[in-house]
Amino acid sequence: MESPIRKLQPVSIWNHFSDLNAVPRPSKKEERIIDFMVNFGKKLMLETFVDEVGNVIIKKPPTKGFENKKTVVIQSHLDMVHQKNSETVFDFETQGINMFIDGDWVTADGTTLGADNGLGVAAIMAVLSSNTIEHPTIEALFTIDEETGMTGAMGLKGGILSGEILLNLDTEEDDEIDMGCAGGIDVTAKRNYQEETTPSETLAFKIAIKGLQGGHSGMDIHKGLGNANKLMNRILYHGTESVGLRVSNIDGGSLRNAIPRESFSTIVIKENEKERFLLKMKDLIGLIKEEFKVLEPNLAIDIINTDIPNKIMDIATQKVFLKSIYTTLNGVYRMSPDITDLVETSNNIARIIVGNGNIYVACLTRSSSDSSKKDLTNALTSCFELANFKVELSGSYPGWQPNINSEILKICTHLYENLYGEKAKVAACHAGLECGILGQNYPLMDMVSFGPTIKGAHSPDEKVNISSVQKFWKFLQQILKNIPERNS
């Protein structure tokens, strides 16, 4: 039976999105989606090619009467964030996304939806496959690996594109037009520790933190949501100080660009400390839930008996490690002094893995200011190095500096107000859009970013608003129809 999602309006976008979501497309493993896009372009008899890093470019000639308009690059990324609830059985590398309609929203069954940035890709596909939409010459740019390094945008060489205007379709509020974004850098801390044999006369417990909202580590970082890695560290620190808790292993978070929703650890305590430990934990868990009762109503922290592990972390390293995570900033470092309510600089403690004598901590630091990004990076590095970690900095990418005199920005804001009777929110965002990177090799390209309303991106709660897709689609068509003439 045909999915009801394919019958939603606009039918072309939802059918292309359904086709996309049937193709597994994890970051850094985009071979199948690249082949899918190449076949799509060739079936339309359009010039289609893949550059040396894997980006797909499809070019479409202008419609009649639009030959003298400026060439437009329409851009979205092919990869998607892979997150699922711990109880969801799903293989992102072999299965398509299971979608369903929930009121005025489309969401997925226990996994990320892929609306980020699949709806943008689907909209471009709808333009390319249409015989009725008026438009200038189009260069459709489908980048790879946006979510885990932006290596597609970084690898796109100058001279491949001739467009003077770029429309990035990766913004997540349908009343917003973005003109700037944050850059970022990966901060990774590693160290070894001595494993010790678990003492006799001990009990073991598994501590599980689940039910947090998670979300986008840029767009949602200012909301004060719970970070499972920080909450787990708080519990382990308290247990260490009060009853001599010993850590065997920790597995928290998943992707750098997602606020951690879950964390799991195995710990041991002395048998004679059981009652006091459980009482202390009950009190602390109660305090944590009270602190987060509004923001995280589904937070669950469970402590369950388990088999005694063979090895634990040496106590000296354990104390230093827990103190270092306590000290490490998570959240907003600085608000923008220039743009109201915009986060300038932040850090997300995204991933913590402890076990087998190794500690691994992964952070994503974002900032629209290179100097502030460096300042926070230095602070994080200093904190970890004081705890004898080796720190690696990688994956640095630039922000996109706002241009308030942008011609395409003025066209978009004017069109939006005419279409909807209200002004669009013109903003810079704290997400890492690819525009800043693309601008390095195409410095004269005039850029804006917009898109449909997507909530819960980078989490299994991700959903896209059906009405906003209709609004976005109408807006995109009007922009293409109103592209200015080439300069003589």
Which positions are annotated as active-site residues? Answer: 79, 146
Residue 190 · residue 360 · CB < 8 Å: yes
To which residue do tokens 């928290």 refer?
252
AA identity, residue 253 = G
Helices first, then strands: H and E counts in the chain:
11, 23
Give me the residues paired with residue 360 across strands: 190, 353
Q: How far is CA 144 from CA 26, 75, 77, 90, 422, in A?
A: 10, 11, 6, 23, 35
Alpha helices (H) in 301-434, listed in sequence order: 315-327, 370-386, 407-420
- Alpha-carbon distance of 87 to 46, in angstroms, equals 44
Residue 466 · residue 185 · CB < 8 Å: no
- Alpha-carbon distance of 349 to 188, in angstroms, equals 10
- Alpha-carbon distance of 380 to 362, in angstroms, equals 11
- Alpha-carbon distance of 195 to 405, in angstroms, equals 60
Instruction: State the Cα torsion 207-213-216-222 to the nearest 10°.
Output: -100
- Alpha-carbon distance of 369 to 344, in angstroms, equals 7
